[in-house]
Chain A
Amino acid sequence: MPVIGPGPKMPRSRPHTHSERGPGLADPIIRLDGIGKSFGATRAVEDLSFELPRGSICGLLGPNGAGKTTTIRMILDIVGPDSGTVEVFGGPVTHEARARIGYLPEERGMYQRMRVAEQLAFFGELKGMRHGEALSEALGWLDRLGLGDRAADRVEALSKGMQQKVQFIATVIHRPELLILDEPFSGLDPLNVDLLRQVVLERQRDGATVLFSTHMIEDAEKICERVCMIAGARKVLDGPIREVKSESGLEHLVIAYRGSPAFLDHPDVASATDHGQWVEIGLEAGADPQTILRHALETGVTIDRFELTEPSLREIFLERAGARRRANDEGAEA
């Protein structure tokens, strides 16, 4: 039985320097090599390769049904891949490895009739903690997340938001080295989203590696250093956000304006996404942003903000997913 101490001995420094990509990453926590999984005729994941460096915080992005949860289940060896290999901590997912992982499933579930602190102690013990140790950790976490007075209540007596926080504690109670969170913030109010985000970042500063899935790309952009994007069962891109953005080769223009949007109908505008308060414009290759500005002013709109910027993750995702779909269609026609 591996004894898990109060916290894994890991370097406290934040290994920001991991910017290299592709095979040959020095010490990946997770390494997926060409994994695939089908359910009947449905291909959930196809030929997915991916490496997650130690100490990083990575968003697994993609629309609903893209294969995020299946990928996570394969990483945890809940379902086995049809093809390819999964390595966590440099080897297969053993009992010893499981005890070092904290997993927050998308489908939250707890024993409704069990008391909160006992339930947390139970999940801690399953990860190898001793009963007393798990219980005192549980009480500490409950205090911190504002549930200190609910420790002796049955779970069914808690509100849904409170239950979600308890579930979150169950994920981190054993101070795992690898946190895998499936849609961790869905359904929480902004205050609690902030609270849990603080905890996740704090765990990462203490050396933990974090992989979390979300279909809210803006969420990921705020918190992640890396992203892995999946669409239609396949990976469309992955790597550190800065590199993803600079390598996208796209230049974006953000304009906040008052007046008619007619000026967007211009040959240099490749795409325009209305964010409500501003519009994000993708430029055709070789286009000059100043041309757009002049054109806008000529049509009589008032410009409040004009900024040349890197594209948002959403734009890159839409562009890449669209390119993949087109490639697929052409492949199918050929």
Chain B
Amino acid sequence: MNDSSPLNRRVLTVARREFLARVRSRWFLFSTLVVPLLFVGAMILPAILVDRSTSEPKPLLIVDETAERLSDELIPLLEEAEVPARRLPIRAGVQGPGAADLDSLRSRILEEGAGGGERAAAWLYLPPGILESGRATLVEDRETGPLLQRNVSRALREVVTTERLKRAGLTGEAIDDVLRPTSVELEPLRAEDGPAGLRQALGFVFAMALYVMFIVYGQMIARGVLEEKTSDIVEILVSSLRPWEMMLGKILGIGAVGLSQVAIWVAVIGVAGIFGLASAAPALAELGLDLSRLSFPWDLVLWSLVFFFTGYLLYSGVFAAAGAMVTSEQDIQQVLIPALIPIVLPILVLPAAMQTPDASWVVVMSLIPFFSPILMPMRIASSHVPLWQSLLAVVLLLVTTYFLARVAGRIYRMGILMKGKRPNLPEFARWLRHG
């Protein structure tokens, strides 16, 4: 290996030490094993909780004041949609057709409608004259979710429509014919794409993972530099190699730790995911999700890796300089917080950006070097980003990294031998000029 090349033996020796020192630590074992467990737990736990809550579903209680007793027809239809329902033997005492007097309805429910202490999912009020008005009221105590409202309104529409058709003189067979269901199939534009929602969810997971990795490994670099300073190792290191070699070796070594950890996670979660999906296939198929139509999002994974590498290089310089600027563990938070801001900012806008991945402000932010490592993978997952935009983001990242690394290298070079107090701003400016 060429002696002055960036990847000379000294740099690799430092990188290997940094790598081994961390991979052999208890921290690595713990975080590498615990994170997949948490992840799997987060996937399984909601399923378990949902399972338990559906085992004893709370019923929908119906206050029926229609002349036709529509609830007789409605209840079987709701049962089909897995909404258990029961008629309450009360009247709301509402005056006039259709116009629900809410206050009166509420007080009736609160007085008697609780059904002898029975918990209800919600109360459905069917007023007289519903065939003309077409309006009913669903009263919720706690948040019931849009699903219940949709199921109830779908079933109610069928019942009301059937009654109206009967009134219009149609018979059973003709009514069935009119009400024969229609359906709309959702298909991706490109045959190779999987369902868009799943892909976008994956993009969100990747963006969050990148965010966590940048923060964890960035801080690891800063603390590693500080440790060498406080334990006076730098003095002996700088007599053997150049400061930039120390910095690069440390960044590469810690980056390798990050990659190994990601590789282990991907392997564990991947294997668990394949088995999990295979066993869940029948259930998913019932929901209309055909597993054979899911394809592995290679482009998303590859771009995420590219942005992990380039983003890590950019941020690592910032954190190495931050670690070199302080002299004690107490001071490090003060420099870490400004260093973390450009990483946290894209996460704050992420939910909004996911809704409109091609809005101009999102496009601009996803090209800005400090934000692109997190925002661009999300956009690639949520939309069809033109290739030039992704490439431009990478080029801008690399150019910024180049210049930033020079500045960081100067700060590092001056900072590592500094002891005692933190530099004030004028001193700091002098470093940048003369380093």
Contacts and interface: CB of A to CB of B under 8 A. Distances in A.
Interface string A162-206: 000001001000000000000000000000000000000000000
Interface in B356-384: none
A128 B231 contact: no
Given A76-B239, A95-B3, A95-B4, A128 B9 contact: yes
A1 B8 contact: yes
A151 interface: no
Residue of A109, A126, A167 with highest tally of chain B CB at under 10 A: A126
Contacts of A103: 236, 239-240
Q: Is the interface of A mostly helix, strand, loop or mixed?
A: loop
B241 A98 contact: yes
A126 B13 contact: yes
Interface in B205-247: 228, 231-241
Contacts of A112: 231
A79 interface: yes
B275 to A, nearest CB: 38
B231 A78 contact: no
Interface string B9-30: 1100110010001000000000
Contacts of B8: 1, 95
A195 B404 CA distance: 48
Contact of B17 (A78, A107, A122): A122
A107 B241 CA distance: 17
B27 to A, nearest CB: 11
A223 interface: no
A101 interface: yes
A106 B239 CA distance: 13
A115 to B, nearest CB: 10
A78 B238 contact: yes
Residue of A76, A96, A105 with highest tally of chain B CB at under 10 A: A105
B1 interface: yes
A1 B233 CA distance: 24
Contacts of A113: 21
Contacts of B235: 78, 105-107, 109
Contacts of B21: 111, 113-114
Interface in A99-144: 99, 101, 103, 105-114, 122-123, 125-128
A106 B231 CA distance: 13
B232 A126 contact: no
A202 B8 CA distance: 33
A111 B236 contact: no
Nearest to A99: B240
Interface residues of B, number: 23
Contacts of A125: 9, 13
Given A78-B239, A114-B21, A105 B231 contact: no
A110 B9 contact: no
Contact of B232 (A1, A95, A105, A170): A105
Q: Is the interface of B mostly helix, strand, loop or mixed?
A: helix
A98 B17 contact: no
Nearest to A130: B9
Contact of A170 (B1, B13, B231, B236): B236
A76 B14 CA distance: 20
Contacts of A101: 239
B212 to A, nearest CB: 25
B3 A127 contact: no
Contacts of B233: 109-111
A76 B243 CA distance: 13
A98 B239 contact: yes
A131 B371 CA distance: 41
Given A79-B417, A126-B241, A105 B236 contact: yes
A128 B13 CA distance: 10
Contacts of A110: 231, 233
Residue of A78, A96, A101 with highest tally of chain B CB at under 10 A: A78
Contacts of B238: 76, 78
A267 B240 CA distance: 56
A24 B240 CA distance: 30
A196 B221 CA distance: 36
Contacts of A98: 239-241
A113 B17 CA distance: 12
Contacts of B10: 95, 126
Contacts of A123: 236, 240
A105 B4 contact: no
Given A1-B9, A114-B17, 7 more contacts: A95-B4, A96-B3, A98-B240, A108-B232, A109-B234, A111-B233, A112-B231
30 contacts: A2-B3, A76-B239, A78-B238, A78-B239, A79-B417, A98-B240, A105-B236, A105-B239, A106-B235, A107-B232, A109-B231, A109-B232, A109-B233, A109-B234, A109-B236, A110-B231, A110-B233, A111-B17, A111-B21, A111-B233, A112-B231, A114-B17, A122-B13, A123-B236, A125-B13, A126-B10, A126-B14, A126-B237, A167-B236, A170-B236
Interface of A: 1-2, 76, 78-79, 95-96, 98-99, 101, 103, 105-114, 122-123, 125-128, 167, 170
Interface of B: 1, 3-4, 8-10, 13-14, 17, 21, 228, 231-241, 417
